[in-house]
Homo-oligomer: A and B are copies of this chain.
Amino acid sequence: MASHSTTRVLSADEFKAAFREHPAGVAVITATADGERVALTATSVASVSAEPPLIMFSVSALSSSTPTILKAETVVIHLLNSDQLPIAKLGATHGIDRFADETIWSTFDSGEPYFHGVRAWIRGRVLSRTPAGGSAVILVEALEAKVVDETHPPLVYFDRTWHSLGDHSRIEGV
Protein backbone atom coordinates (compact mmCIF):
# COMPACT_ATOMS: atom_id res chain seq x y z
CA MET A 1 0.00 0.00 0.00
CA ALA A 2 1.22 3.49 -0.74
CA SER A 3 2.27 5.90 1.95
CA HIS A 4 -0.53 7.99 3.42
CA SER A 5 1.17 11.26 4.03
CA THR A 6 -1.28 14.11 3.53
CA THR A 7 1.34 16.37 1.99
CA ARG A 8 2.76 14.32 -0.87
CA VAL A 9 1.29 15.32 -4.22
CA LEU A 10 1.17 12.90 -7.13
CA SER A 11 3.41 13.35 -10.14
CA ALA A 12 1.67 14.19 -13.41
CA ASP A 13 2.56 10.72 -14.75
CA GLU A 14 1.09 8.91 -11.72
CA PHE A 15 -2.05 11.02 -11.97
CA LYS A 16 -2.46 10.38 -15.69
CA ALA A 17 -1.98 6.62 -15.14
CA ALA A 18 -4.86 6.58 -12.64
CA PHE A 19 -7.15 8.72 -14.79
CA ARG A 20 -6.60 6.58 -17.86
CA GLU A 21 -8.72 4.08 -15.90
CA HIS A 22 -11.74 6.42 -15.91
CA PRO A 23 -14.04 6.16 -18.95
CA ALA A 24 -15.83 9.26 -20.20
CA GLY A 25 -18.42 10.28 -22.73
CA VAL A 26 -17.00 12.45 -25.48
CA ALA A 27 -18.18 16.01 -26.13
CA VAL A 28 -17.15 18.72 -28.54
CA ILE A 29 -17.54 22.27 -27.31
CA THR A 30 -17.89 25.16 -29.74
CA ALA A 31 -17.87 28.87 -29.09
CA THR A 32 -17.18 32.19 -30.74
CA ALA A 33 -15.67 35.42 -29.43
CA ASP A 34 -13.93 38.40 -31.06
CA GLY A 35 -14.55 36.91 -34.50
CA GLU A 36 -12.79 33.62 -33.62
CA ARG A 37 -14.60 30.27 -33.88
CA VAL A 38 -13.31 27.33 -31.85
CA ALA A 39 -14.13 23.63 -31.38
CA LEU A 40 -12.59 21.59 -28.60
CA THR A 41 -13.00 17.91 -27.71
CA ALA A 42 -13.60 17.36 -23.99
CA THR A 43 -14.08 14.31 -21.76
CA SER A 44 -14.75 16.37 -18.64
CA VAL A 45 -18.36 17.39 -19.31
CA ALA A 46 -20.73 16.60 -16.41
CA SER A 47 -24.17 17.59 -15.24
CA VAL A 48 -23.99 19.54 -11.97
CA SER A 49 -27.60 20.43 -11.18
CA ALA A 50 -30.95 19.95 -12.90
CA GLU A 51 -32.74 22.90 -11.26
CA PRO A 52 -31.26 25.23 -12.39
CA PRO A 53 -29.75 23.19 -15.26
CA LEU A 54 -25.97 23.51 -14.82
CA ILE A 55 -23.06 21.82 -16.60
CA MET A 56 -19.34 21.92 -15.91
CA PHE A 57 -16.25 21.09 -17.94
CA SER A 58 -12.57 21.95 -17.82
CA VAL A 59 -10.28 23.40 -20.46
CA SER A 60 -6.49 23.21 -20.46
CA ALA A 61 -4.39 26.32 -20.90
CA LEU A 62 -2.42 24.25 -23.43
CA SER A 63 -5.35 24.14 -25.87
CA SER A 64 -5.39 26.77 -28.61
CA SER A 65 -9.19 26.99 -28.20
CA THR A 66 -9.06 27.95 -24.54
CA PRO A 67 -8.57 31.74 -24.87
CA THR A 68 -11.73 31.97 -26.98
CA ILE A 69 -13.71 29.66 -24.66
CA LEU A 70 -12.67 31.90 -21.75
CA LYS A 71 -13.94 35.01 -23.56
CA ALA A 72 -17.18 33.50 -24.91
CA GLU A 73 -20.52 34.41 -23.31
CA THR A 74 -22.17 31.21 -24.56
CA VAL A 75 -21.01 27.74 -25.61
CA VAL A 76 -22.51 24.75 -27.40
CA ILE A 77 -21.79 21.33 -25.86
CA HIS A 78 -22.25 18.48 -28.36
CA LEU A 79 -22.55 14.90 -27.10
CA LEU A 80 -21.20 12.52 -29.75
CA ASN A 81 -22.18 9.19 -31.25
CA SER A 82 -19.52 6.69 -32.27
CA ASP A 83 -20.07 7.54 -35.94
CA GLN A 84 -18.96 11.09 -35.07
CA LEU A 85 -15.45 9.93 -34.19
CA PRO A 86 -14.09 12.18 -37.00
CA ILE A 87 -15.58 15.22 -35.20
CA ALA A 88 -14.03 14.07 -31.91
CA LYS A 89 -10.64 13.77 -33.60
CA LEU A 90 -11.11 17.13 -35.34
CA GLY A 91 -11.59 18.86 -31.98
CA ALA A 92 -8.57 17.06 -30.51
CA THR A 93 -6.02 17.67 -33.29
CA HIS A 94 -3.57 20.56 -33.04
CA GLY A 95 -2.89 22.97 -35.82
CA ILE A 96 -5.82 22.30 -38.14
CA ASP A 97 -8.81 24.41 -39.20
CA ARG A 98 -11.66 22.67 -37.42
CA PHE A 99 -14.22 24.44 -39.60
CA ALA A 100 -12.61 23.75 -42.98
CA ASP A 101 -15.39 21.33 -44.04
CA GLU A 102 -18.36 23.67 -44.26
CA THR A 103 -20.81 20.82 -44.87
CA ILE A 104 -20.63 19.54 -41.27
CA TRP A 105 -21.48 22.69 -39.32
CA SER A 106 -23.78 25.71 -39.32
CA THR A 107 -24.24 28.81 -37.18
CA PHE A 108 -27.06 29.34 -34.71
CA ASP A 109 -29.05 32.60 -34.92
CA SER A 110 -27.38 33.41 -31.59
CA GLY A 111 -23.97 33.22 -33.28
CA GLU A 112 -22.33 29.99 -32.10
CA PRO A 113 -21.08 27.43 -34.62
CA TYR A 114 -22.54 23.94 -34.16
CA PHE A 115 -21.95 20.53 -35.73
CA HIS A 116 -24.76 18.65 -37.48
CA GLY A 117 -25.99 15.17 -36.70
CA VAL A 118 -24.58 14.77 -33.20
CA ARG A 119 -26.29 12.72 -30.50
CA ALA A 120 -27.47 15.78 -28.58
CA TRP A 121 -26.46 19.37 -28.06
CA ILE A 122 -26.91 21.82 -25.22
CA ARG A 123 -26.47 25.56 -25.69
CA GLY A 124 -25.70 27.49 -22.55
CA ARG A 125 -24.50 30.70 -20.95
CA VAL A 126 -21.13 30.73 -19.19
CA LEU A 127 -21.68 31.55 -15.51
CA SER A 128 -18.10 31.34 -14.25
CA ARG A 129 -14.53 30.57 -15.30
CA THR A 130 -12.44 29.39 -12.36
CA PRO A 131 -8.66 28.92 -12.73
CA ALA A 132 -7.58 25.46 -11.47
CA GLY A 133 -3.92 24.53 -11.90
CA GLY A 134 -3.05 24.52 -15.59
CA SER A 135 -6.73 24.64 -16.53
CA ALA A 136 -10.00 26.45 -15.94
CA VAL A 137 -13.32 25.04 -14.76
CA ILE A 138 -16.23 26.44 -16.77
CA LEU A 139 -19.73 26.45 -15.27
CA VAL A 140 -22.57 26.78 -17.79
CA GLU A 141 -26.32 27.34 -17.41
CA ALA A 142 -28.20 25.41 -20.09
CA LEU A 143 -30.52 27.61 -22.18
CA GLU A 144 -31.76 25.04 -24.66
CA ALA A 145 -31.01 21.48 -25.70
CA LYS A 146 -31.93 19.04 -28.43
CA VAL A 147 -31.58 15.28 -28.68
CA VAL A 148 -30.75 14.98 -32.39
CA ASP A 149 -29.99 11.27 -32.93
CA GLU A 150 -30.19 8.75 -30.14
CA THR A 151 -30.43 5.73 -32.48
CA HIS A 152 -26.66 5.26 -32.83
CA PRO A 153 -24.29 4.13 -30.05
CA PRO A 154 -22.69 6.89 -27.97
CA LEU A 155 -18.93 7.47 -28.07
CA VAL A 156 -16.76 6.80 -25.00
CA TYR A 157 -13.05 7.47 -24.48
CA PHE A 158 -11.11 5.11 -22.25
CA ASP A 159 -7.43 4.19 -21.89
CA ARG A 160 -6.49 6.25 -24.97
CA THR A 161 -8.96 4.34 -27.16
CA TRP A 162 -12.50 4.88 -28.44
CA HIS A 163 -15.47 2.70 -27.51
CA SER A 164 -19.16 2.54 -28.33
CA LEU A 165 -22.00 1.55 -26.02
CA GLY A 166 -25.04 -0.56 -26.83
CA ASP A 167 -26.65 -3.93 -26.20
CA HIS A 168 -23.18 -5.47 -26.59
CA SER A 169 -21.85 -3.57 -23.58
CA ARG A 170 -24.91 -3.57 -21.29
CA ILE A 171 -24.41 -5.63 -18.16
CA GLU A 172 -27.68 -5.25 -16.30
CA GLY A 173 -31.00 -3.42 -16.47
CA VAL A 174 -31.90 -1.19 -13.54
Binding site for B on A (CB under 8 A): 1-12, 14-19, 21-25, 27, 43-54, 56-58, 60, 74, 79, 82, 85, 108-110, 119-123, 125, 130, 132-135, 137, 139, 141-147, 150, 154, 156, 158, 160-165, 168-174
Contact = CB atoms under 8 A, between A and B. Distances in A.
A144 B6 CA distance: 9
A123 to B, nearest CB: 7
Contacts of A23: 23-25, 154, 156, 165
Contacts of A133: 48-49, 51-54
Nearest to A58: B48
Contact of A18 (B15, B60, B79): B79
